Amino acid sequence: MTEIARVERRSGRPRSEDADRAIIEATLDLLAESGIAGTSIEGIAARAGVGKTTIYRRWRGLESLICDAMLTLKGPLPTLSGASLRDDLLSIAEAAARSRESARNRKVYACFVGEMSRYPALDAQYRETVIAPRRELTRGALRRAIERGELRDDLDLEVMSEIVTAPTLHWMLHHPDQTPSRELLEQLLDGVLGGLRPRA
């Protein structure tokens, strides 16, 4: 909805879809390199090989454009097998890792953490379309696991959700030049689920 209405086409030269793609790609590239504050319409136009007019004709401004670019960043939500809590959480972690496979995407996520709060429209859309569905996915998996007796029921769901997701996200955030191996994801998850104290 941030894009300017594409009114019913009647006549004249149609808008180039190549330009659309080039603009979005250039936006993500610049976000990764220079952060939100360092990304400008002029820079995007130059990198995309496009006139500024072409951008202003499609988006209201920088924030709208970044909103749209952001949406192309996130992959599809994983479908959970439901076989076990471990399987579900591993699927979620792997989906997160997959959307951070390219160095560019990792850097874009990193710059969002600190800068997003200064761009309210962007922040709201990010929370609603990216964070919230994934959060709900995790909470659902945890709820089902509690019902099946796979999880303690004496801890707040919010606290458990934090414990389960934080190590993976924290690792990925602070290792922007690496991709976590499947082994690492499993080690983190198993450590979290089983606990760090020796079983008596």
Binding residues vs a second copy (CB under 8 A): 34-35, 37-38, 107, 110-115, 117-118, 149-153, 155-156, 159-160, 162-167, 169-171, 173-174, 176, 184, 187-188, 191-198
Report the nearest approach of DNA to the CB of residue 29 (Å).
Answer: 14
The residue from 13, 174, 197, 199 that contacts DNA (CB under 7 A) is: 13
Report the nearest approach of DNA to the CB of residue 33 (Å).
Answer: 11
How many residues contact DNA, by CB under 7 A? Answer: 23
Residue 61 site contact among DNA, a second copy, none (CB < 5 to 8 Å, cut-off depends on kind) = DNA
19 binds DNA (CB under 7 A): yes
Residue 14 site contact among a second copy, DNA, none (CB < 5 to 8 Å, cut-off depends on kind) = DNA
CA–CA distance, 110 with 34 (Å, rounded to integer):
11
| 168 to 50, 163, 165, 183, 191: CA distances (angstroms) | 38, 10, 6, 12, 12
Instruction: Give residues in contact with DNA (CB under 7 A).
Output: 10-16, 19, 40-43, 49-54, 56-58, 61-62
